[in-house]
């Protein structure tokens, strides 16, 4: 779909909305968008993000992802971009990113037009919540104009118009059956981001130690889609990096466990595990952890370590067969205090 906007300065912005599978390839068109966004001589994104962007533009990614690429052009030249990803089968939760306007074209309303097209398109396919992360005040201003509200750390979320923000998490991630365990997939980008960003269980503090994601105000989450991209890159790099998720009867991702084993042979048998669970599914966290550990054991992982700072989270690890290995005094800086980090280990035999 193409939409033409008359910008306040009189220029014409032609916005292409490339739905899932549309306008993808490896021609000069995609090369232009890729270079425009990654800024090879002035990079602003981490390499893993650039790697995923290349797949999104080429259309070679796992088909569980339904992504929309938005490209704005003035006189045929790319001047702005944006991207939104959700799940192909259940487009309820999404992630917004790759929002960039050519420096000389800023302030003309380009990002606002693309953001409006993106979020309205998501509501039209049944979207319930969209996440993004930014510390840029200009971007924050734009996102707030289009329904995004500050959520956690540098994360913003837009809830489907008419949704009660105060009860959304509890309702959306509420109990609906015991859930089924399956492999993570790219279409989970919004769902996993929502799970990692959840404010509850507050007392856990740690969300993803590897990615430095914590919820312990005033210490804030350090990213939004980035933990997903980083963990997904590790997952794809080796079968030892098992990643299992629990999906409830409503198709919603409510718990996750992923492993990261170094690729160098002498240390490859030692993995680190991260896990998350929505409050209504904490009792099912051990099942998803066990599924990930079994996968890892089948791929020669011998010892798995996970850490926590709060008893509630450590209790889940104990229940999953982990034993205390070491306490690192004051290893985590929570801003107003330093807290001990307990490293726990489970041997896979």
Ligand X SMILES: CC(C)(COP(=O)(O)OP(=O)(O)OC[C@H]1O[C@@H](n2cnc3c(N)ncnc32)[C@H](O)[C@@H]1OP(=O)(O)O)[C@@H](O)C(=O)NCCC(=O)NCCS
Which residues make up the interface to ligand X (CB under 6 A)?
Answer: 80, 97, 99-101, 106-112, 134, 136-139, 141-142
In angstroms, what is the minimal distance from the CB of 122 to ligand X? 16
| Closest to ligand X by CB, 114 or 240 | 114
In angstroms, what is the minimal distance from the CB of 96 to ligand X? 8
In angstroms, what is the minimal distance from the CB of 108 to ligand X? 5
| Closest to ligand X by CB, 6 or 326 | 6
| Closest to ligand X by CB, 101 or 128 | 101
What is the residue-wise DSSP string for 244-293?
Answer: EEEE-TTS-EEEEEEEE--SSGGGTTEEEEEEEE-GGGGGGHHHHHHHHH
In angstroms, what is the minimal distance from the CB of 288 to ligand X? 30
| Closest to ligand X by CB, 79 or 288 | 79
| Closest to ligand X by CB, 224 or 271 | 224
In angstroms, what is the minimal distance from the CB of 213 to ligand X? 17
Give the per-residue SS3 of 16-76: EEECCCCCCCCCHHHHHHHHHHHCCCCCCCCHHHHHHHHHHHHCCCCCCEEEEEEEEEECC
Q: Residue 62 has which token pair?
A: 């796992």
What is the residue-wise DSSP string for 88-134?
Answer: SS-TTEEEEEEEEE-GGGTTSSHHHHHHHHHHHHHHHTT--EEEEE-
| Closest to ligand X by CB, 137 or 162 | 137
In angstroms, what is the minimal distance from the CB of 8 to ligand X? 8
In terms of C-beta density within 10 A (0-12 exposed, 13-18 middle, 19 or more buried), how is residue 349 classed? exposed
CB-side neighbour CA atoms (13 Å) of 28? 1
In angstroms, what is the minimal distance from the CB of 81 to ligand X? 9
Based on its alpha-carbon atoms, the radius of gyration of the chain, rounded to whole angstroms, reads 21
In angstroms, what is the minimal distance from the CB of 232 to ligand X? 19
| Closest to ligand X by CB, 64 or 140 | 140
| Closest to ligand X by CB, 108 or 207 | 108
Residue with tokens 């490339």: 18
Q: Give the residue from 347, 214, 192, 218 showing the smallest Cα distance to 277.
A: 192
Distances, alpha carbon 19 to alpha carbons 24, 59, 187, in Å:
10, 11, 14
Q: Are 345 and 305 in contact (CB under 8 A)?
A: yes
Give CA–CA dist 340/333, Å, rounded.
Answer: 9
């Amino acid at each position: 779909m193409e939409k033409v906007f008359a910008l306040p300065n009189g220029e014409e912005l032609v916005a292409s909305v490339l739905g899932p599978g549309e306008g993808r390839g490896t021609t000069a068109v995609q090369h232009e968008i890729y270079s425009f966004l990654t800024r090879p001589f002035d990079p602003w994104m981490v390499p893993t993000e650039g790697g995923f962007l290349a797949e999104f533009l080429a259309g070679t990614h796992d088909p569980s992802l339904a992504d929309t690429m938005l490209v704005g052009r003035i006189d045929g030249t790319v001047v702005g971009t944006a991207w939104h990803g959700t799940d192909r089968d259940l487009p309820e939760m999404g992630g917004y990113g790759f929002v960039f306007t050519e420096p000389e074209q800023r302030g003309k309303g380009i990002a606002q037009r693309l953001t409006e097209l993106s979020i309205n398109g998501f509501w039209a396919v049944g979207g319930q919540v969209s996440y993004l992360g930014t510390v840029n005040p200009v971007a924050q201003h734009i996102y707030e104009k289009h329904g995004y509200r500050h959520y956690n750390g540098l994360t913003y979320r837009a809830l489907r118009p008419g949704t009660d923000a105060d009860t959304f998490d509890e309702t959306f991630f509420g109990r609906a059956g015991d859930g089924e365990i399956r492999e993570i997939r790219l279409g989970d980008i919004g769902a996993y981001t929502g799970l990692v960003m959840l404010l509850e269980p507050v007392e856990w503090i740690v969300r993803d130690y590897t990615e430095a994601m914590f919820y312990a105000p005033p210490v804030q989450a350090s990213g939004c889609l980035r933990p997903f991209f980083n963990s997904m890159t590790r997952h794809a790099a080796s079968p030892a990096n098992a990643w299992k998720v629990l999906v409830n009867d409503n198709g919603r991702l409510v718990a996750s466990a992923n492993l990261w084993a170094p690729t160098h042979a002498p240390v490859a048998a030692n993995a680190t595990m991260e896990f998350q669970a929505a409050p209504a599914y904490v009792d099912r966290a051990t099942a998803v952890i066990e599924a990930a550990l079994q996968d890892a054991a089948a791929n020669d992982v011998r010892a798995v370590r996970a850490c926590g700072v709060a008893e509630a989270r450590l209790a889940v690890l104990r229940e999953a067969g982990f034993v205390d290995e070491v306490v690192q005094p004051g290893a985590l800086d929570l801003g107003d205090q330093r807290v001990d980090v307990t490293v726990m280990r489970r041997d896979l035999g």
